[in-house]
């Protein structure tokens, strides 16, 4: 039986030959919604940098902590850009465990990620998924799921977890983030993580070269470039740091910056 025939989560007509970052990430996290082409790329990445799976797990843990932080500030609606394949501990699970009325819209341009999200969420009236390009803020914000589930008058938790480094320099990445910021109510939060070459763990150019064999090229950015994506937001303590070292769980091991590979932070849109 082929992968297409054996997987109800793969939509008809999906290109199974071209790896995707969403499915590679799912594999690195131990998920089951990935294909042979994705696993092959993941194995090449691990051969270059054995810590790549640890980077993925730390990123996922940051997402959960950031969502819990936002919930503690009263946020009850979330827009997850570049959401990927849903796995255990996804945004709606974390948020709705605290408040079942929390609303979540997942956005991804990868058809497999969206198809599986919709399948997973079919009985959840407070969560949905949208197939769209995150670099089109007007299209995302004007979509049916966003208009149905998210109230523009109330603060939103905007999640851009490992999104920015898949966006090329042109069009201006800062303008994309600014468009979302301007559309959100005061008190909205932005959480993001972003790959960087500033740290040793992902400095090897073969990492980016390997990702060029997928549909998702990566564009690592410096600290100043990542910090610019928070323009108009007030960073909460400890500011822009690394994924493992942003509000770590009390029993979490300290991770050296050089071993992390991801900048991370949470900002709040102030009252005008």
Domains of the chain, residue spans: 57-268
Class of domain 57-268: alpha beta
Q: At what angle do helices 36-48 and 52-72 cross, to 10 degrees?
A: 100
Please work out, in degrees rounded to the nearest 5, the angle formed at the alpha carbon of residue 269 by the alpha carbons of 268 and 271.
125
Q: Looking at residue 89, what is its pLDDT?
A: 77
Q: Looking at residue 236, what is its pLDDT?
A: 97
Q: Looking at residue 181, what is its pLDDT?
A: 98
Say if CB 101 and CB 76 are below 8 A apart: yes
Q: In the numeric block, which tokens belong to residue 30?
A: 């131990």
Alpha-carbon distances, residue 36 vs 15, 19, 20, 73 (angstroms): 12, 8, 11, 42
- What is the rounded distance in angstroms from the CA atom of residue 164 to the CA atom of residue 160? 7
Q: Looking at residue 120, what is its pLDDT?
A: 87
Cβ atoms < 10 Å from Cβ of 29: 18
Q: In the numeric block, which tokens belong to residue 71?
A: 């919930």
Q: Looking at residue 5, what is its pLDDT?
A: 41
- What is the rounded distance in angstroms from the CA atom of residue 221 to the CA atom of residue 199? 11
Q: Looking at residue 255, what is its pLDDT?
A: 75
pLDDT tens sequence for the chain (272 residues): 344 444 566 666 666 778 989 889 999 998 888 889 999 999 999 999 998 999 999 999 999 999 999 999 999 999 999 998 877 679 999 999 999 999 999 999 988 889 888 988 999 999 999 999 999 999 999 999 999 999 999 999 999 999 999 999 887 899 999 999 999 999 999 999 999 989 888 888 899 899 988 888 999 999 999 999 999 999 999 999 999 999 998 766 667 777 788 999 999 999 97
Q: Looking at residue 4, what is its pLDDT?
A: 47
Q: Which long-range contacts (CB under 8 A, 24 or more apart) does 248-252 make?
A: 248/65, 249/61, 249/65, 252/61
Q: Looking at residue 62, what is its pLDDT?
A: 95
Tens digits of per-residue pLDDT, 28-74? 998 888 889 999 999 999 999 998 999 999 999 999 999 999 999 99
């Amino acid at each position: 039986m082929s992968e297409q025939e054996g997987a109800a989560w793969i939509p008809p007509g999906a290109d199974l030959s071209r790896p995707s970052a969403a499915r590679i990430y799912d594999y690195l996290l131990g998920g089951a919604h990935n294909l042979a082409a994705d696993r092959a790329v993941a194995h090449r990445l691990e051969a270059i940098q054995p810590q790549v799976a640890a980077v993925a797990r730390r990123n996922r843990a940051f997402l959960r902590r950031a969502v819990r932080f936002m919930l503690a500030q009263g946020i009850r609606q979330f827009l997850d850009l570049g959401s990927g394949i849903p796995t255990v501990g996804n945004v709606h699970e974390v948020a709705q465990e605290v408040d079942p009325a929390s609303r979540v819209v997942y956005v991804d341009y990868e058809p497999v990620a969206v198809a599986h999200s919709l399948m997973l969420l079919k009985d959840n009236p407070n969560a949905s998924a949208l197939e769209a390009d995150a670099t089109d803020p007007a299209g995302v914000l004007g979509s049916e799921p966003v208009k149905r589930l998210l109230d523009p008058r109330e603060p939103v938790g905007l999640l851009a977890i490992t999104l920015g480094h898949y966006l090329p320099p042109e069009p201006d990445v800062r303008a994309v983030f600014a468009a979302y910021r301007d559309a959100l109510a005061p008190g909205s939060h932005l959480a993001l993580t972003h790959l960087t070459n500033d740290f040793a763990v992902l400095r090897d150019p073969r990492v980016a070269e390997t990702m060029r064999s997928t549909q998702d090229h990566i564009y690592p950015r410096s600290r100043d470039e990542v910090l610019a994506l928070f323009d108009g937001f007030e960073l909460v303590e400890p500011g822009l740091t690394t994924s493992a070292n942003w509000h770590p769980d009390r029993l979490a091991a300290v991770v050296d910056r050089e071993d992390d590979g991801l900048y991370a932070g949470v900002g709040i849109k102030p009252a005008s």
